[in-house]
Amino acid sequence: MKCKLLLSALISAACLNATASEVTLYGVIDEAVTVTKHKGESAVVKMDNGIYAGSRFGLRGVEDLGNGNSVGFILEQGFNADDGSEAYAGKAFSREALLQVKGKWGELAFGRAGGLSSDCGTYTILYGGALWTSYYTDGNLASAFIVSDRMDNLVVYRSPEFSGMSITAMYSNGTGLNSEGEDNQKWSKNSHYYGIGLDYSHNETIFSVIWELLDNKDLGAKSTQLFTLGGQQGFGDWTFWAGYQYAHNSQMLPGWNYAMQGRKGVSQHAVTAAVGRKAWGGEWKFEGNYAHGKSNHSGKKYNIWSAGTAYEYPVSKRTLTYVYGGYGKANKLLNTDEYKSAFNSWTVCLGVSHSF
């Protein structure tokens, strides 16, 4: 009898352990009809996806360890809803792949995620814009700001909240992949990412201050530094956004355009400002973006400006329709044949975004 009772207890404990971790399947499907015209090219009408929010599916789980501690994970894959292809070739979970440990002391995470200024993923703290990086870059924040991307091999620490503030620190030891996809380089030859930021949220006030460094060792270039601050303030039906960034020795231009301008890259100042108002059951938004900078190699200067507007209407708690229009223009260095089609364009679109 005692053996049977012991066996029953073990089976019950095993069943409890098997169900202790809560796992959620979630995702977004976002599709739109767009018309886009780049300088020197014909207008293109097409089905596009991920304009309001990137199409994705994911698994999220958490297990309570007691005493305020827990362990969890996020596995998230991006895809193109218009043709079903994966957003990043060769990655099973291209958007995020994280193991998280949380407690009263804060939280630690390990894996793949977006950087502090990436506007993507669990630990981004980029504020200051109404039209984020999923919208077309002829009107969104990334048309002027140089934002960090998703990165592998990340270690993240996020502090507990104190007086509405928290601190997030990130480090990536790079990849250093060879032609066979193996990471066999020395640590000193990999590119590394360092980031730290403070964000604050109280009622309708939100802002953040971020410093990021990419040492560009695999490019043999000077380190890039990004100083970014931004925030938003609500006043009932109205919301106002503003942001500023200084980028030093960047190997990228806004909109993720590669810009190997010698070892020192480019340096620039960028600003953004936006206004939004709730109307007719949805929200109208308008944003302007501007950046001016120069190549630290050639001394050639450039400036970029863009404007975008959108109206977002929630049909239900999970389904949203949107219309968007954006226009962008660049001068001097960025109006040359190499860059003019990327920075001189306009776009209009009509789309639907559904989350599950």
Tokens of 322: 């949107």
Q: Please check whether residue 328 is in contact with residue 346, taking contact to mean a CB–CB distance below 8 angstroms.
A: yes
Collapsing DSSP to helix, strand or coil, 123 comes out as coil
Q: Please check whether residue 197 is in contact with residue 167, taking contact to mean a CB–CB distance below 8 angstroms.
A: yes
90 domain residue, yes or no = yes
CATH number of domain containing 84 = 2.40.160.10
For the chain, give me the number of helices (H) and strands (E)?
2, 19
Tally the domains of the chain: 1
Q: Please check whether residue 353 is in contact with residue 319, taking contact to mean a CB–CB distance below 8 angstroms.
A: yes
2 domain residue, yes or no = no
DSSP H or E stretch at residue 238: strand 238-250
Each residue's pLDDT, cut to its tens digit, for the chain (356 residues) gives 444 433 343 334 334 444 447 899 999 999 999 999 999 999 999 999 999 999 999 999 999 999 999 999 999 999 999 888 988 877 889 999 999 999 999 999 999 999 999 999 999 999 999 999 999 999 999 999 999 999 999 999 999 999 999 999 999 987 666 555 566 677 777 889 999 999 999 999 999 999 999 999 888 899 999 999 999 999 999 999 999 999 999 999 999 888 766 789 999 999 999 999 999 999 999 999 999 999 999 999 999 999 999 999 999 999 999 999 999 999 999 998 888 888 999 999 999 999 99
Q: Please check whether residue 200 is in contact with residue 206, taking contact to mean a CB–CB distance below 8 angstroms.
A: yes
6 domain residue, yes or no = no
11 domain residue, yes or no = no
Handedness of CA 307, 313, 319, 323 (dihedral sign): negative
Which domain range does residue 124 map to? 23-180+190-355
Please give the model's pTM, rounded to 2 decimal places: 0.90
293 domain residue, yes or no = yes
DSSP H or E stretch at residue 5: helix 2-20
15 domain residue, yes or no = no
